[in-house]
Amino acid sequence: MRLLLALLLVPPALGQDLAIRDVHLIDVEAGVVVPDQTVVVADGQIVAVGTDVGVPDGVEVVEGDGRYLMPGLWDMHAHLRHPIAPTIILPQLMAHGITGVREMGSECENKDDPVCLDQMLAWRDQIAGGTLVGPRLIELSSFPLNPPWDYAVAEDEARAIVRELHGRGVDLIKTYYRLSPEALGWIADEAAALGIYAAGHLPLAMTTAEAAAAGVRSVEHTRDLLFDCFPGSAAFRAEAHSQNPPPAVMRAMVEDHDPAVCDATFEAMIAHGTAYVPTHVTRRMDALADDPAFRDDPRRRFLPAIVWDSWQADADRMIALDPSPEGRATGRAFHRLGLDLTRRAHEAGVTVLLGTDGGDTYSFFGSSAHDELALLVEAGLSPADALAAATIRPAEFVGLGGTFGTVEAGKHADLILVRADPLTDIENVRQIEAVILGGRLFDRDSLDALRERVEAAVAAMDAEEAP
Ligand SMILES: [Zn+2]
């Protein structure tokens, strides 16, 4: 591992002044292409956008050649708290056009962990200063607050831990499934009083609507919503001691699904301004764990063997829960129902945000954001709405809609240049020609170099781990 940390990547020059000429802009809000534009960048900011914009003297010119320029992607459910982040995770996020992340487990509960919040805060500064390649660490979170089942958290205790975590520098408190409804209420309330917020997995002892009313600002994972929308919900919540429902309960969630309950949940989320981060990419495994094409993904070469092996074990465990044809069909139906739920939530007016849980089983660092965009479109969002869920909606969610999330003068120059129009086919987001972060240009050659360094870091790590 020491060897790996010594391989820290050298980023390209800080914030050149740029002009990107002859590009079609993707307007993620209007869902249209604005043709034949020039974008001028100075000091990391977009300063002019238009057809008749002149190119200032002395700036580096990027010839767009009719390609498509869109805002950089934000991953609102990322996990980077790992020693391999600088060499393996962060550069892959950059290479795939992820320019901002909300990190969902930045502080460690166990102080012996190799990376904790202080390191994450240092990485945030290094990225901002241009000495470390990676997306902006927009928000950093606490460890999941998850007391033992038989432990009643007292109010002063709940409020004290929120104050302590806020003092350490987290932007949000991550909730988890063993919290009591009362404790969740105290945590959300104390967080709000400090100007931060609570978000995460929902306590099994309360519904999504109740958590929204208690002040949770974003609900993570489709699965948590599906727990609500079937007649066995109350019994499941009362008896469950795990957030993984047993096969029979999962089947009931699919077969007895009650859309009216979900509709009421959406209404509560809208009333309380609660966003929804489905992370479909994490549940796709339920559907495809026994599909050899899915299992043998060529992207494995960008993953250390230790991670890949843990994914294989996890996928095998998933199948073993119920390997019968009915069990496998339930896994596929659960995934499809989740996609349908997201369409309905979006149509009802719930704010959907893109999150990947990257590093979770079969969520590849960086490219899983492209997978999730495709899944949002498969769910029924338009490509423009899927892109908005990864750009302007997250920026608005964190209160930065005025400075991030679209290609407009006055905003940070966090941009992706793609070869073909992502509004006609969301898969075109994968065809990245260049990424710009705060005016720093990573052209295709630099992005390829990043990927090669990741492969080298993976090989070095595998060699070190080998017996
Ligand atoms: Zn997560």
**Coil, strand, or helix at residue 408?**
coil
355 CA from centroid of ligand 1 (Å): 9
Picking from 384, 402, 358, the residue whose alpha carbon sits closest to that of residue 76 is: 358
Helix axes 325-348, 367-379, angle to 10 degrees: 80
Weakly modelled stretches of the chain, pLDDT under 70: 1-15
77 CA from centroid of ligand 1 (Å): 6
Q: What is the pLDDT of residue 241?
A: 81
Q: How far apart are CA 79 and CA 383, in angstroms?
A: 25
Here the tokens at position 270 are: 């809208």
224 CA from centroid of ligand 1 (Å): 13
- Could you identify the residue written with the tokens 């002044």? 17
Residue 389 CB contacts under 8 Å (≥ 6 apart), including other chains: 352, 353, 354, 376, 381
Ligand 1 ion: Cβ-proximal residues, 5 Å cutoff:
104, 357
Q: How far apart are CA 224 and CA 352, in angstroms?
A: 14
415 CA from centroid of ligand 1 (Å): 26
176 CA from centroid of ligand 1 (Å): 10
Element housing 214 (H / E) = helix 208-214
36 CA from centroid of ligand 1 (Å): 40
**CA-CA-CA-CA dihedral for 360, 361, 362, 365, to nearest 10:** 30
Q: What is the pLDDT of residue 14?
A: 58
**Which pLDDT tens digit goes with each residue over 266-290?**
999 999 999 999 999 998 998 999 9
63 CA from centroid of ligand 1 (Å): 39
445 CA from centroid of ligand 1 (Å): 32
Q: What is the DSSP letter of 88?
A: I
Q: Say how many C-beta atoms besides its own lie within 10 A of residue 258's C-beta.
A: 14
Q: Check if the beta carbon of residue 157 is closer than 8 Å to that of residue 88.
A: no
**Which pLDDT tens digit goes with each residue over 385-397?**
999 999 999 999 9
Q: How far apart are CA 151 and CA 209, in angstroms?
A: 24
Hey, what domains does the chain have and what are their CATH numbers?
10-463 (3.20.20.140)
203 CA from centroid of ligand 1 (Å): 15
Q: Say how many C-beta atoms besides its own lie within 10 A of residue 220's C-beta.
A: 26
Q: Check if the beta carbon of residue 372 is closer than 8 Å to that of residue 73.
A: no
* Distance in Å from the first CA to the final CA of the chain: 15
